[in-house]
A and B are shown apart, each in its own frame.
Chain A
Amino acid sequence: MAAVLESLLREEVSVAAAVRWIARSAQSSEDDPGEAAALSSLRPLRKEFVPFLLNFLREQSSRVLPQGPPTPAKAPGSSAALPGRPGGPPRGGRGARSQLFPPTEPSSTAAAEAPSARRGGRRRGPGPGRERGGRGSGGLEEGVSGESSPWAGGRRPRGSGSPGSPSLARSDPPNLSNLEEFPPVGSVPPGPAGTKPSRRINPTPVSEERSLSKPKTCFTSPPINCVPSSQSSVPDTSPWGHGLPPGCRSLQEEREMLRKERSKQLQQSPTPACPTSESGSPLPSRTGNLTAEPADPARVSSRQRLELIALIYSSCIAENLVPNLFLELFFVLQLLTARRMVATKESDLEPIPGALDSLESPLFQSVHDCVFFAVQVLEHQFQVLSYLDKGTLKLLAENERLLCFSPALQGRLRAAYEGSVAKVSLAMPPSAQAVSFQPETDNRANFSSDRAFHTFKKQRDVFFEVLREWEDRHEEPGWDFEKGLGSRIRAMMGQLSAACSHSHFVRLFQKQLLQMCQSPSGTGGTVLGEAPDVLSMLGADKLGRLRRLQERLVAPQSSGGPCPPPTFPGCQGFFRDFILSASSFQFNQHLMDSLSLKIRELNSLALPQPEPSDEDGESDVDWQGERRQFAMVLLSLRLLAKFLGFVAFLPYRGPEPPPTRELQDSILALRSQVPPALDVRALLQQGLRARRAVLTVPWLVEFLSLADHIVPLLDYYRSIFTLLLHLHRSLVLSKESEGEMCFLNKLLLLAVLGWLFQIPTVPEDLFFLEEGQLDTFEVDTVTSEQGLDGMPVVDQHLLYTCCPYIGELRKLLASWVSGSSGRSGGFVRKITPTTTTGLGAQPPRTTQGLQAQLAQAFFHNQPPSLRRTVEFVAERIGSNCVKHIKATLVADLVRQAESLLQEQLVTQGQEGGDPAQLLEILCSQLCPHGAQALTRGREFCQKKSPGAVRALLPEETPAAVLSSAENIAVGLATEKACAWLSANITALIRREVKAAVSRTLRAQGPEPAARGERRGCSRACEHHAPLPSHLISEIKDVLALAVGPRDPEEGVSPEHLEQLLGQLGQTLRCRQFLCPPAEQHLAKCSVELASLLVADQIPVLGPPVQHRLERGQARRLLHMLLSLWKDDFQVPVPLQLLLSPRNLGLLADTRPREWDLLLFLLRELVEKGLMGRTEIEACLGSLHDAQWPKDFSEELATLFNPLLAEPHMPEPQLRACELVQTNRGTVLAQS
C-alpha cells in the first residue's frame, strides 16, 4: 500500500488515476497506460489502499492528538500495510474490541505502567526503527503475500513481532508504546481463535486520558452479559443497559457515577463526553497542561507532500471510499484544532534528507503541518461544509488558524454562513400528552367482554401511572426501573389474557411511544392527517416543568462522539425498559406485528409528488408543509423501526459474537430458518426502485443498528448490507445532475450509513465483499420517474435531528474556542472498498382502471397540494358520511326499534319474551332499511365534497381544474363511504338495535315512575330558589330536634317552619338543581314533618321556653304541605307513611291523644285526590298487626270507621267547623 502512496508522492501516478483505480475494479479508458501499468502490478492491494491511507493518517497524527479528543481510530489492516513491519505488528494478542481494557489488566494498572512502557519504547526506538525502515515496501510485500485475501491480514495472528514501526520509533510518541499494552482490535491471538473475524479498528493510541473516552467503552461494554468490574459499563447509553445480571456493578452505582460525571462535564466542558472514567481517576485538565501552539503557514515543513496527500485523501472522501464522511471531517477538524506536538525536540522536526518523497519521515512534523493539511482538506470539502448548520459555519469562519492558512476559504465560509438559514436547535417541543381515548376504537363494543373492557380500563391507568412515576423518579439516585416498576408492569401484563386485549394495549403503547419520543418539528406539525396538536396551536408554553423535562430527555446533552452506539435516549428509555421488564412473549409479538404494520403503512405513504420546477413562490409554502410532513413520517419510521429492531433481535442479543466458528455455524444454520420480522429487504429494494431511499434507508439503518452479532452474517441481511454499501458508494456528493438525489438527502444517507458501519455488531468483513458479488447488483441508474430522492425533503434540522452526532463537529470547534477540548471521540470502524454500480430498476407498473389513471394524470401536472387536498377531503367526507348515516338513518331505525319493542312489551306483558328472539324479530324488520344507506351516503358525499374542496383550494384555481378536483373528491369519498357502508351497515344496525333492546329491557325493570314526563321550571325562572341539599339539611335538623334528644334551649319557631315550607315550594317549582333522589327524600321528609305536626311533636321556640305549636299554625302548615304534595312534587310522595305504625305511634304516646289534625289531614288527602279511601283502608288494616295500647286501638277504630264508611267527602260544614275548632279533642267528640 505504501508503494501506491509513494508512487503518488513521486508523481508517477496522478491522483485522479489513483482514485479511479481505487474506486473501480475495471480500468478506465481515461487512464494513462503508464499509470495503469504502475497500478496494475499492485492490483491485489487495491482494496487495501483506503484503510491504509486512513490508518496512516491516524498514526501520523497520533503525536498531535494524543490527549485531545480521542482520534477516530484507525482502519484495519494498517499495521500489515505499514512499511517496515516484516515481523508483523508489535501488538499483543488481544484482538477483540471488547478487550481493549482487558479484565486481567485493569486500566488503572495500565495507566500506571504506561510511562515506563513509553520510556522503554523510546529507548529501544531508533535502532530497529531505522533498520526496518530501510526495507521499505519490501516489508509490505512480506506482510501481505502470504495471505489469500487482502483482508486476511487483519486476521493474522499477531503479537510475535518486535515493537515499533519506523515512524513510530522515530517520532516516538508516548502513546504508541501503549499499543503494546492495548493491542489493536484487529489482532487476535494465534491459535484456533484465528478464525475469529478481525476487527477492523485499531484503537487510538492510548494514554491515560484514553480510558476516559466514553464511546469506546460504550462499544466495549457488553450489552447484557457481565462486564468485568474494571470496565465500567454505561447503562444509560447502552441500549441494553438494563438487565445486567447480578454480579456486575450494580446499576445503581453506575447510575450514580453517571450522574456525577454528567454534572462534572456540564461544568467543565461544552462537549460533555460520556463518562466512563473509573471513579477515582482524575479528569485531566487539558487547559492546564496544554496550551495551543500558534500555527504558522510559513513553518509548514513539506507542503507538496501534504498537499498531495490531502488531495488524495479528499478524493477518497469525495468518492465515498471512506466509511464515514463525518468521522473524517471530525478528524480533520481535530487536526485543525490540534494544540501542539507532543515531542518538541528540535531534532525530531528536522526533515530527514531524501525522505521527503517517501513515507519515511513523519507526515506531520509540527502543528503547522497539521493545520496546513487540515485546511487543504477543508478546502476540498467546502461543499459539504457549506451545508452544515449555521453555528458550525460560524465557528469555522471565525477560526483564526483557518483564516491564517487560507483567507480564501475563510471568505467562502463566511459567505456561506451569512447566506445560511440552517439554524438548528436541539430544543424539542413537549409531547407529554397521553394518548386520548377514542370511542371508535376504545369503547365497550371493541372488546370481547365486559371484563376485558374493564381490565383494559385499569391497564391504561396503570400504564400511565407507571409512566408518570418513571418521569418523576428515573433521575433520582438509586432509583431502578425494574425494582421500582417491574412487578407492577408484570402484574398488569398478566391480566392481558385475551389476544384482543393485547392488541389494544399494544396500540396504546405504540401511540404513546410515537407521541412522546418522536421529535416533531416545532409548530403545528400535523401527524399524518391527525388534528394539529391544540397545545401548540394555543402556544401553551407553560407546561413548564414537563416541557423542560421533555427537552432534557429528548435532546440529551451529548450524543457521545461522532460515532455513538445506538441508544435509547430520554423517554425511549422508558419504553425499552418497559419491554424488558414486561418480558412478555405475547406482548412482544403483538408489538412487532403492530410496529411492522405501521412501518409498512408509513413507508408507503404517498408523500410529495414531483413538482414542476418552474413553479416557485407559492409552491414554497407548500414545500414547507411537505418537508414537515416528510420529517414527521421519517422520524416516526425511525422510532418504530428502532423499537422493532430492538424487540425482534432481543432474544438473540448477546455481548459478543460466538466464540468459535463451529458454534457460529450452527447458530447461523438455525437462524437462517427464521423468517425476518419484517421483510425489510423487499422494502429496501422497493424504496431504491421507487427512488425513496431517503425515506427507507434512515429507518432501515435504525432497525439494523439493533441487530445482534449474527444478523449481518445471515444471507438475508448480508444482501441488505450489500445493497446499502452499494448505495453508499453511489452517493457521490459532487455529482449534481438531473435525476440525482438532492444534496442534503445524500448527506443524510451518508451520515446514517456511515454511522451504521460503525455499529459494533456489524462485522467489518461484510464491507470487503468480493467484487463479483457486487457486480451482480449492477443495474442501470436511469430512472424514468422522479421519486422522493430527487426532492429537497431533507433540511438541516432534519439532518441534525436524525444524526445528532454531526453536532460533534460544532462542539469540537467550540471547545477550541473555549480553550478546553472536548473529550468525546469516536471510531473509525471499517473501510468499504466497494465498487459503485447503479441502483434501482424499472418500477413495476400496476394497471388500474382508466378513471383512476386519468385521475392520476390529472394530478400529475397539478401542484401536490391539490392532490393532498382532494385526498384529504375525500377521506374526511367519506368518514363523515359514515358517521352521518349512523347519526341519522341508524338512529332512526333504533328509535323505530324502541317503539316496536315498546309495543311488543305492551302486547306481551312486562316480560316481552326472550330478548334474543326479540332482537331477531326487530332486526328482520329493520335491517332491510339499511339499503337506503348507500343512496343517502352518495347524496351526502355529493353534497358535501365540492364545498370542502372549493374552500381548501386557492381562489385562483381554474374552474376546470376545480370542478375536476371536486368530482374526483366526490368519487373517492363515495367510494370510500359506500365500500364501508355496504360491508358494515347490517352489522351496525344489529349492534345498535341490540344495545337499544338491552337498554329498554333494563329500563323496564325498576322505577317506572322515574320515566314519567318531567316538567322543567318556567322560562322566567331565575333559579334563585334555595338548594335542595340545603332544604333537606334544614328539614333534617327540624326532624332531629323533634325526635330528640335536644338541649333545653333548642326549638324551632313557627315562622321558621313556615319559611321552610315556603322555600320548599320554591325549590320544587324551580327544579333547576333538583335531582330525583333529592326530591324523593324531600317528599319523605315532608311526610315525616307532617306526622310530627299531627302528633304535635315539634318543639316550638319562644317564651316561655318550649311551647307547643298552635293548632291554627299547625293547620296552616299542613295546608302548605298538602298544596306542595298536590301541586309541586313530581315524584310520588310516600303519604302512606303518615299511617305507618311508627308515625301513628307518635300519637299513641301523647296524652291526651289529639286526633283532629290527623283526621283533618286524611280528609284533605282524600278530597284532593292524593290518597284513595281504599289506600287508607289498606294502611289502617296493616296497623292491626302492630302492638298498641288497648285504648289506642279502640280509639283508632272508632275514629276511622266513619271516615271509611262515608261514601262521599265530609260536608263543607265539617271542614269549616274543623277550621274553627282549635281545641283539642273536639273532633273526637264530634265523631
Chain B
Amino acid sequence: MILTKAQYDEIAQCLVSVPPTRQSLRKLKQRFPSQSQATLLSIFSQEYQKHIKRTHAKHHTSEAIESYYQRYLNGVGRNGAAPVLLDLANEVDYAPSLMARIILERFLQEHEETPPSKSVINSMLRDPSQIPDGVLANQVYQCIVNDCCYGPLVDCIKHAIGHEHEVLLRDLLLEKSLSFLDEDQLRAKGYDKTPDFILQVPVAVEGHIIHWIESKASFGDECSHHAYLHDQFWSYWNRFGPGLVIYWYGFIQELDCNRERGILLKACFPTDIVTLCHSLA
C-alpha cells in the first residue's frame, strides 16, 4: 500500500483529535474502504502518537495531574463502576493507558511510603490485579483494554506483528535460497548495529544492490522514516552498504528517494531478485 503524500495527508487530516478507541477505528475503516485495515491502523496509531508527543508535557504538569486525580476520585466516589478514567482520558484528549499511568502513579504516591519505581508501575499496568485498590484496578484495566494505541497489550501486539513479519521475511529468504545472517547471529559476532538480515551474498532488486534487509511492520510515514533513517538505515549503510527496507503496511511514495544512495523501500517482498551468477567465468 504505497500512498502519495497527498493521499496520506488526506487520511491524516481525518485523524485529528480522534480518540484511540475501537469505535474511531471502525469509522475510519468506513471512511477509507479501499485502504487495508492494517495500514489504516498503523497510520492512525502513528498519527496519534505524534499527537501525544506534542501534548504529552501539558498532561504532566503537577497542576494537571492534581486536577485529573481529583476528578478521578470524585468520579469513582460517585460510581466506581462507571468508566471514570476512560471518560476522563477521552475528555482531555489523552491516551487512556497513559492517563491510567498518571493516576496510578499519583495514587501510589499517596498510599505508599516510598515513591513508586517505574518497574512497579509497569508491572501493575501489565497486571492490574496487583493494584492494591480494586476500583482503581478495574479502572486501569478498562483503560488498557480500550486503548488501541498505547498500553502493554498494544505494545505486545506491535511487538508480535514485528516478530511475525521478520519470521515471514526469513521464510521468504529461505524459500529463495538466499543465505543470510540474522540479528541474533550478528549480535553474537559483536556487530554494533544489526539489521534484521544481512545477506551473505548481495542481490540486486530493481537494479539496486542489496546487502541487508530490514523489516518494518508499520506504515512508513515521514516522521518514523526519518527517525529510522537516522537511527538505523544509514547506520546499516555505513557498515554494510546499500540495503532494502520493507514497510509491510506501505509507505509514502515520496520517501523512496534514497534508492540511488543505497536505501530502497518496498511494501512487500521483492519479486525480481537478481542473484550473483556463479558461472561468470
Contacts and interface: CB of A to CB of B under 8 A. Distances in A.
Interface of A: 432-434, 436-437, 439, 442-445, 453-454, 456-457, 460-461, 463-465, 468, 534-535, 537-538, 540, 542-546, 1023, 1027-1029, 1032-1033, 1036-1037, 1039-1040, 1043-1045, 1047, 1072-1073, 1075, 1077-1078, 1081, 1084-1085, 1134, 1137, 1140-1143, 1145, 1149, 1186-1187
B163 interface: yes
Nearest to B83: A1045
Contacts of B204: 538, 540
Contacts of A1028: 160, 164
B153 interface: yes
B192 A437 contact: yes
B22 to A, nearest CB: 6
Q: Which 3 A-B pairs have the closest CB atoms?
A: A443-B190, A437-B239, A1140-B129
Given A460-B239, A1043-B142, A1078-B156, A443 B261 contact: no
A415 to B, nearest CB: 37
B134 interface: yes
Contact of B161 (A439, A468, A1029): A1029
Given A437-B240, A443-B191, A545-B260, 7 more contacts: A443-B189, A540-B204, A1028-B164, A1029-B158, A1036-B157, A1040-B22, A1140-B129
Given A1043-B145, A1078-B163, A464 B238 contact: yes
A43 B153 CA distance: 100
B209 A534 contact: yes
| B129, B191, B230, B234 — most chain A CB neighbours (10 Å) | B129
9 contacts: A437-B192, A457-B193, A461-B235, A537-B280, A1029-B158, A1032-B153, A1044-B142, A1075-B163, A1084-B127
A439 B189 contact: yes
Which applies to chain A's interface (DSSP): helix, strand, loop or mixed?
helix
B137 interface: yes
B22 A433 contact: no
B234 A1075 contact: no
Nearest to A1091: B129
Contacts of A1023: 171
B202 interface: yes
Contacts of B193: 437, 457
B160 A1078 contact: yes
B208 interface: yes
From A445, A464, A538, name the one whose CB has the most chain B CB atoms within 10 angstroms. A538
A906 to B, nearest CB: 26
A519 B156 CA distance: 51
Contacts of A433: 241
Nearest to B241: A433
A1073 B167 contact: yes
B197 interface: no
A297 B153 CA distance: 96
A1033 B83 CA distance: 21
Contact of B145 (A445, A453, A535, A1040): A1040
Contacts of A1047: 23
Interface in B226-281: 230, 234-235, 237-241, 260-262, 274, 276, 280
Contacts of A1045: 83, 86, 146
Given A1036-B153, A1081-B156, A443 B209 contact: no
A454 B190 CA distance: 12
B260 A1078 contact: no
A1142 B134 contact: yes
A1149 B81 contact: yes
Interface in B100-145: 127-129, 131, 134, 137-138, 141-142, 145
Given A1043-B141, A1073-B163, A436 B239 contact: yes
A1045 B88 CA distance: 13
Contact of A546 (B134, B137, B260): B260
Nearest to A1076: B163
A1142 B130 CA distance: 9
B202 A538 contact: yes
A538 B276 contact: yes
Contacts of A1027: 160-161, 164
A1081 B146 CA distance: 16
Nearest to A1140: B129
Nearest to A1143: B129
Contact of A1081 (B83, B153, B234, B276): B153
B159 interface: yes
Q: Which of B81, B161, B168, B192 is the most central at the interface, judged by chain A CB atoms within 10 Å of its CB?
A: B192
Q: Which of B207, B237, B238 has the most CB of A within 10 A?
A: B238
A456 B142 CA distance: 46
A439 B190 contact: yes
Contacts of A1140: 129
Nearest to B164: A1073
A140 to B, nearest CB: 66
Contacts of B202: 534, 538
B129 A1142 contact: yes
Contacts of A1043: 138, 141-142, 145-146
A1186 B160 contact: no
A434 B238 contact: yes
Contacts of B163: 1073, 1075, 1078
Contacts of A1037: 22
B236 to A, nearest CB: 9
A545 B262 CA distance: 11
Given A1029-B164, A1078-B159, A1137 B129 contact: yes
A1156 B163 CA distance: 40
B192 A453 contact: yes
A1134 B123 CA distance: 14
A443 B239 contact: no
Nearest to A1085: B153
A1141 B238 contact: no
A1073 B237 CA distance: 28
Contact of B159 (A456, A464, A465, A1075): A1075
A1023 B260 CA distance: 37
B159 A1077 contact: yes
A1186 B86 contact: no
B260 A544 contact: yes
A1028 B153 CA distance: 12
A938 to B, nearest CB: 27
Contacts of B83: 1044-1045
Contact of B134 (A465, A1073, A1084, A1187): A1187
A167 B138 CA distance: 110
B209 A540 contact: yes
B62 to A, nearest CB: 29
Contact of B127 (A436, A534, A1077, A1137): A1137
Contacts of B276: 534, 537-538
Contacts of A1036: 145, 153, 157
Nearest to A1188: B134
Contact of A1142 (B128, B157, B171, B189): B128
Contact of A464 (B137, B207, B234): B234
A157 B19 CA distance: 90
Contacts of B167: 1072-1073
Contacts of A1078: 156, 159-160, 163
Interface string B183-209: 000000111110000000010100111
Given A444-B190, A461-B238, A1040-B145, A542 B207 contact: yes
A535 B141 contact: no
A757 B193 CA distance: 49
A457 B194 CA distance: 12
**Of residues B83, B163, B168, which shows the largest number of chain A Cβ atoms within 10 Å of its Cβ?**
B163
A1140 B167 CA distance: 36
Interface string B58-72: 000000000000000
Contacts of A544: 260
Contacts of A1145: 134, 138
A1020 to B, nearest CB: 16
Contacts of B274: 538
